[in-house]
A and B are shown apart, each in its own frame.
Chain A
Amino acid sequence: MEIVRSQRKPVADGPPNLSLYRSAPPLEVRLEDFELYAIDRLRVLKGISDGLSRGKKPEEMEKMVSELWRANMRHQDASEVMNKDIISHFVLRLVYCRTEDLRKWFLSMETTLFRYRFRLESPESQRMLMAEFQLPYKALSNAEFESVKDKLGQVARSIGQPSNAETIFFKVPFEEVPELVASRRVFLLKGYAYVAMNQVVSLVVTQFRSNLSKALVLTNRKWTSTIREQEKERLTPIVEALSNSYLGPDYSQPKEFAEICLKDIDQLASNSFPLCMRHLFGKLREDHHLKHGGRMQLGLFLKGVGLKLDDALALWKMEFSQKIGTERFDKEYAYNIRHNYGKEGKRTDYIPYSCQKIISSTPGVGDHHGCPYRHFSEENLRAALGKMGVGGHALDDVMDKVRNRHYQLACTLTFEAIHAASCDTGINHPNQYFSQSQKILKSRFQPTT
């Protein structure tokens, strides 16, 4: 009997509640639960995606994630909680492994989820998780700490954190903590990043992300080669149903308004483009040029609304050649436009950017892409909205949303003001903005008999 007891895991300050999802669970769950678990998890991930696109700050995200988790991932049977977590994760892997864009989305949401859940763990279990990842880092020795102490303090203050002599630091190759490097949240010296204990989440997340990324590619392979067939009766229908009902359209294939013509495009731009695209399109006409980020954002959008490749080439050429001549256009830019349509290079279809992607982009000098609600100064935004015909109360309401960093809601209010119609779903995608706008406008101009 002794043996049995000692094999039991200690419960008191037990193992972390967080799984690294190393291996697929044994299938001891009722099939209905599969779907329900997956839907619950999807609610969490969609919530996270929403939060990110609103530009929520880390503290706000942390709170939101823990609330989402509590609301959706409970189970009346406490022993099932961990199972539900693991099973729902693996079911969604199957749903989201099938295209590069789906994988990307899932990877980024799961990684965000993991990050905030990790932050909520006790230091003790954080250390256990680090050990589980087998991260080879040792804490900075005293002598080494002394030699860089001032700089470490300076970095801490630069990101508004108290510098604390007690903090443990790890010295790691800068390649391991790209997100800390990108945001200048670490001190760098001769290729090493000095990572504070409260930042190790980055190390762990990098590891988590790269494991999951590899796993998703494998899952995809297994799915097409065996699982789909093997699970024909059980899992496959669930996975298919999930992907149909919850992924939403990706706008990569123009559907509803199969085509638009070059001659209508200015009209369409002023009636039905969201502000981000209106602005880019206007700049293209005005400057006869757009930098890389702008070309991608606008070009894929136009593809999504149904501009044919030949027309797209004609449009870009007509503008660019005024500035740089036709030869340079053909030489330097035509390739990329074809590439966006999947005609050259690796033949993937590029998918139009979602609001979330646009909002989180970082336009630099000379760039016009991004989301105006997020990236314009207040003054410029007011002027731009004025030109669209938004004024008075409506304008104040929009600016109010902007100040609270609800960019997509600001865009939704703009939509409603211009169209004098409500938009209950909210704006999530520039192409969705376009198609809803067209739907409304077309219904109005259709003669009613």
Chain B
Amino acid sequence: MTKEEALVERDGMQIDGGGPESRQVRAGPAGFNADYLKIYYGKLFPCADIYKWLSYGNDGKHPACDHSYFGRREFSFTLENDIYVRFQSFNNANEMENAIKEKCPFKIDFGPVYSVDPAKRHAYAQAGNNVFTPVERELIFDIDMSDYDDVRYCCSGADVCLDCWPLMTIAIKVLDSALRDDFGFNHILWVYSGRRGVHCWVCDARARRLSNEQRASIADYFRVYKGGENNSKKVTLTGPVLHPFLARTYTDVLRGFFEEKLLCSQKLLESEERCQKILELIPDESIAAEILDRWQGNRRSSISKEDVNKARWEQLKHILQTGKQKAQGLRRCVEEIIFSYTYPRLDMEVSKHMNHLLKAPFCVHPKTGRVCVPIDPDNCDDFDPTTVPTLSELFEELNMSGMRAESENEWERTSLGKSIRFFRSSFLHPLLKSCKEEMESSYSAKLQQSRNSLSW
């Protein structure tokens, strides 16, 4: 039994007929139920850490702390019977924890920090216009596998498997490095969405204070897709060379993933239909015909032992990149094809506006029962959505060790332990440290200023 198969069995998932390609993440409803969820919120959900995080240092004793900060954050709960409660707020960790335990929401979303307590927004609305408005919000990204349905053949819609998951790995790598190197952000949290995608939270103070226009500019910086559903050629790269960000993305991430992984795992050039789809991306019809000719010509010949996808790709590259084809327009074709099949597809609206809600980390996905655990961007190649702990597994783990005395951190005894440890050590602690530093330096700057103005 291979390692993957073992994991699959442990998850109690069905393997529907045939080879490993058709293996899919399909945890039944067994993975999730409201009673387990109550226990999860009671014993495992890291409430205190979440509170620390969303306070950004304002929960301390420093004179520069803004004690109203956490209380101005919007939470929204989706309850069992699909009731959706927006604009909740809590004054402290206790209130939040009690509300979560009591209401046992199937989903928790975090919204922005508003100018005033969102629960009291109506009172302010009477007072005059625009008092109730978002003032801070993490920069967020939402990447959803169902947006990739035209470039994956293993599954579609809400399903994911190990053959298409690399598309998410690519997205994490591309965005993470650009957010750090280009935009200078440091406090970035990647989270598995529990089913078919990933979320990203950029939490630097600078990111939280971006205007909508600035958010849109970042989203657009990442945008390569144009033309929507009604233009088969979705990527057009212009200019004699690529922008350094795109060039680096291409050579460091996209090309390798396309040629080493997706080309074969998705069998991108195996059937006639798939071949045709790639040929459509070549604007010159006679060249496209020439390539098709070559592919048909050696159907039975030498390439039998070599992977047909690889062989055909090499032929395509050869024809496009040699001799007269090097002319304008076609030179970019190989890159455009690779970008079309690999480049991250963001839900732009989510990133552009401060007031979008996004599911909280460590929630449990009600369909799969999987916990929305953080993903380590430095080791995202190893992340496997099919082995993320589920509610029922965690419940069992708690039961197994339940005989021992109640320890304070019960999560340490479960497979959620390593996710929480990672959350703390590589995200929360560095974040809080820099919040504290920022607070101190801005405070002393202010003091200095007032001292100067006094001496006048």
Contacts and interface: CB of A to CB of B under 8 A. Distances in A.
B216 A178 contact: yes
Contacts of B421: none
A214 interface: no
A17 interface: no
Given A178-B213, A188-B182, A377-B233, A366 B221 contact: no
Contact of B227 (A159, A375, A379): A375
B225 interface: yes
Given A154-B241, A178-B214, A182-B221, A365 B228 contact: yes
B223 interface: yes
A174 B228 CA distance: 28
Interface size class of B (residues with CB under 8 A): 35 or more
A253 interface: no
A256 interface: no
B48 interface: no
A271 to B, nearest CB: 22
Given A174-B183, A188-B183, A380-B231, A183 B220 contact: yes
A364 interface: yes
A179 B217 CA distance: 6
Given A158-B242, A188-B182, A365-B225, A178 B217 contact: yes
A181 B241 contact: no
B183 A160 contact: no
A80 interface: no
Interface string B198-234: 0000000010001101101110110101111111111
A434 interface: no
Interface in A159-212: 159-160, 174-175, 178-179, 181-184, 187-192
Interface in A360-400: 362-370, 372, 375-377, 379-380
B230 A372 contact: yes
A160 B239 contact: yes
Contact of B230 (A151, A183, A192, A368): A368
B247 interface: yes
B282 to A, nearest CB: 14
B240 A158 contact: yes
Contacts of B348: 364
A160 B346 CA distance: 27
Contacts of B437: none
B199 to A, nearest CB: 17
B102 interface: no
B422 interface: no
Nearest to A217: B130
Interface in B213-267: 213-214, 216-218, 220-221, 223, 225-234, 238-247
A319 to B, nearest CB: 17
Contact of B228 (A155, A181, A184, A375): A375
Interface of B: 78, 82-84, 147, 181-185, 206, 210-211, 213-214, 216-218, 220-221, 223, 225-234, 238-247, 345-346, 348-349
5 A-B pairs with the lowest CB-CB distances in the bound complex, closest first: A191-B184, A363-B228, A178-B217, A182-B220, A188-B182
Given A178-B213, A327-B82, 20 more contacts: A154-B241, A154-B243, A160-B240, A174-B183, A184-B246, A190-B181, A190-B184, A331-B82, A331-B83, A364-B346, A365-B228, A365-B234, A365-B345, A366-B147, A368-B228, A369-B228, A375-B227, A375-B228, A375-B230, A375-B231
